[in-house]
Amino acid sequence: MVTVSFPDSTWRDEVGPIDGVTAVVWDPQEAPPQESVDVYIAPYMTKPAGVAVVAEQPSVRLVQLLSAGFDNMLPVLPEGVSLANAKGVHDAATAELALTLVLASQRGFDDFARAQAQGEWTARHVRPGLADKRVLLLGYGSVGRAIVERLVPFEVSVTAVASRARAGDDLVDAVHGVDELASLAPQHDIIVSVLPGSDATHHVLGEELLSSLPDGTLVVNVGRGPALDTEAAMRHAGRLRFALDVTDPEPLPTGHPLWSAPGVIISPHVGGVTHAFRPRAVALLRRQLTALAAGEPPINLVHEG
């Protein structure tokens, strides 16, 4: 038998019984259960402290996240404990939001929302739109691919960039390496970042790259906030446009100048927060726990303890 802890009883009940699995509830804000837990399912959007608690249960051999991002959990993961993420669960919802941010900025919906709040019918202006634009997708993993799938019908050209160059697929002719970013970025109208958080991605969108972008370029970030240098973004706000679901710092403090910077749209890190999340996460958990109960290796393993 594999003993699995769920963050609350609703997750346990929705996943339901699985042969070979004993289910318990472990809220990381409370004491660990008396049972020896093998698999710890962390609460969605938990902070690292919500994973660090597994040190109190030496029996834990796998932590299952309900998010795709995992880099900030590695420093608190006890030795010998593996980590799996929720790759695939958030792809569609995050891609929806990325496209929403692109369209909202390209068609001026930030201006329309402010005008509506004032009860004003504004004069019409020619907006950039999306058709015929050149889009650079930075971080071509499963979420990046989902974004490109949704962009293509809007009649854009897409360039994909990842950590290393590789062959293309049915959506893009080639995947360029990040070492080409400096030369590629100025040739595009829109840059969409889905980069994870790590030392390698910190401030990839920094002063040097932002300075090289033509006036009016739209920079969208639905990955992790520190990929964009906030101070540099504020220096270029107005000349460039930004649509951000993630920020650095996060949450963005009340009164932070980024809130009111010209040409900036901010959503509060809600890329995966739709009705699609729960059933997709439940399906992933059932697949994962069924595999573990059968003695198979975990899926979506991002760190082997």
The pLDDT assigned to 1 comes to: 93
pLDDT for position 52: 97
Work out whether the CA dihedral 274, 275, 278, 281 comes out positive or negative.
Answer: negative
**How many CB atoms are closer than 10 A to CB 78?**
15
Q: Residue 291: in which H helix or E strand, if any?
A: helix 277-293
- Decide: 243 and 271 in contact? Cβ < 8 Å: no
Q: What is the pLDDT of residue 59?
A: 97
**pLDDT at residue 7 in the model:** 97
pTM: 0.94
Question: Which residue in this structure is represented by tokens 């809007």?
Answer: 154
Average per-residue pLDDT in the chain? 97
Closest C-alpha to 50, from 63, 33, 36: 63
In this predicted structure, what is the pLDDT of residue 172?
A: 97
The mean pLDDT of 75-82, rounded to a whole number, is 96
> What's the confidence (pLDDT) of residue 303?
96
Question: What is the mean pLDDT of the segment spanning 207-227?
Answer: 98
Other beta carbons within 10 Å of 162: 17
pLDDT, residue 267, reads 98
Residue 222 has a CB neighbour count (10 Å cut-off) of: 30
123 token code pair? 């004069």
pLDDT single digits (tens) 152-186: 999 999 999 999 999 999 999 999 999 999 999 99
Q: How confident is the model at residue 223 (pLDDT cuts 50, 70, 90)?
A: very high
Average pLDDT over residues 253-259: 97
Q: What is the pLDDT of residue 60?
A: 98
- Overall average pLDDT of the 42-66 stretch: 96
Q: HEC profile for 66-130? A: CCCCCHHHHHHCCCCCEEECCCCCCHHHHHHHHHHHHHHHHCCHHHHHHHHHCCCCCCCCCCCCC
- How confident is the model over 109-139, as pLDDT tens digits? 999 999 999 999 999 999 999 999 999 999 9
- Whole-number pLDDT of residue 97: 98
Percent of residues, the chain, with pLDDT higher than 90: 98
Q: How many whole angstroms separate alpha carbon 146 and alpha carbon 271? A: 13
Report the phi/psi class of residue 292: left, alpha or beta, with left for phi > 0 and alpha for psi in -120 to 50: alpha
Q: pLDDT band at residue 22, thresholds of 50, 70 and 90?
A: very high
* 160/16 Cα distance (integer angstroms): 40
pLDDT single digits (tens) 190-208: 999 999 988 999 999 999 9
- At residue 265, the pLDDT reads 98
Mean local confidence (pLDDT), 73-94: 97
- Using the 8-state DSSP alphabet, how is residue 253 labeled? P
Please state the rounded mean pLDDT for residues 30-50: 95
Residue with tokens 């390698």: 200
pLDDT bin (cut points 50, 70, 90) of residue 54 is very high
pLDDT at 253: 97
